[in-house]
Amino acid sequence: MRRRIRPLLCAALIAALVGPAPLAGAADGGTALPGVPERLAPDQPCTTLRGTVTAAAPWTRGVLGLDQVWRLSRGRGVTVAVVGTGVSGDPAVLRGRVRALGPAGRDCVGRGTFQAGLVAGAALPGQGFSGVAPDALVLAVRGTGERGEPDPARLAAGVREAAAAGADVITVAAPLDGSDPRVRAAMDAARAHDALVVVPAAADSVPQGTATPQPAPAAPPEALAVLDTGPQGVRPDAAPPFRHADLSAPGGALMGPGPVGDGKWTASGASFAAAFTAGAAALVRSYHPGLNAAEVRARLLRGAYPGDLPALDPYGAVSGVAPGAAPAVAPPPPAPLRLPDPPDTAGARSTAYLVVAGAGGTIALVGLLAVVLPRGRARRWRPGRLDATGRPLD
């Protein structure tokens, strides 16, 4: 079934043009990487190949906008359980951040280590690869046989064990059957411990010799079922069928670590799309520690790119408005600054003029009296006599 995710396709094209140099890998004949096996034959030895050392960046780094979302969250303080073939702590991108339950610290196949790298591989100098949540911790839980043999009972038990061990997010190696009582019991345990379960919506491959493969069972409704898409935003026509998916994420021509050394491998499948989504859930839980598992699930869906099937957008999930929260209300703009009206000084100026004029008149009158009064007293206030020219005689 072919599902087109137009926004994801546009993002892939943009990343190819302006983003980090994408890994050519198996997709277009560039850097050759070995493929991670899905399971090993009974007589086949454990995976010991060290992969191919490369500094190229995978196409998923630009499509998922990892460099942008890391400015907000890198998954610190969150534990993601990988339930599958086990997780090796040997690759440098995972070293020191893997805790294993029982024998899950040994990954004979390599698939669980690859998944863990997609979830939480560190961003190291000199290489373009990184997981979605490079500061998150990994909890390794065995969910298959040692050689990757599918085991639904063990997978369900792995989910239950991961929840009890304190995982905040749980991703699994194969689809879960929501009608299986063992799966329902595992989901009850995850709900009780507030762990979000992220599952593949389809198998990673069609068994050889299967003419008409059956679609994968529908996942439990509380889980987040994820479907894989390739670099062009579509699934191959021969991809394994599915019944229901909530979200799509990159799952074709991927690059990640192997169980030995620091070389890189390639793989495709819905379980890896689920791993990417689990990493995004870790980013959300780290940035919004008050959200519960159901709210994180809703946030991943609401922040996704719209399309026939919503496409994972880690930045949209981390930066969007929290479920149930009232939208932020901007504070009212400050009142415009009002300067006081200039005082009316016309009346004051008139008063000042009158005061000055009155003072001048008073001064002149006082000066005049200072001359006239003594003369008047000397003459006993008699009128004076004048000569013929008008000058006073005495």
Q: For the segment 158-170, what is each residue's pLDDT rounded down to a tens digit?
A: 999 999 999 999 9
At 73 the three-state DSSP class reads coil
Mean pLDDT of all residues in 369-389: 56
pLDDT tens, residue by residue, 316-344:
999 984 434 444 443 444 444 444 444 44
What is the overall mean pLDDT for the chain?
83
| pLDDT bracket for residue 2 (50, 70, 90) | very low
Q: Where are the domains of the chain?
A: 6-27+56-319, 347-385
Q: How far apart are CA 152 and CA 158, in angstroms?
A: 10
Spell out the residues 6+ positions from residue 65 whose beta carbon is closer than 8 angstroms to its own. Answer: 11, 313, 314, 315
User: What pLDDT does residue 378 have?
Assistant: 58
Here the tokens at position 76 are: 């610190």
55 closest CA partner among 129, 134, 132: 129
* Amino acid found at 155: L
Mean pLDDT of all residues in 300-308: 95
Least confident of 12-16, 76-80, 302-306: 12-16
pLDDT tens, residue by residue, 337-348:
444 444 444 444
CATH code for the structural domain at 6-27+56-319: 3.40.50.200
| pLDDT bracket for residue 24 (50, 70, 90) | very low
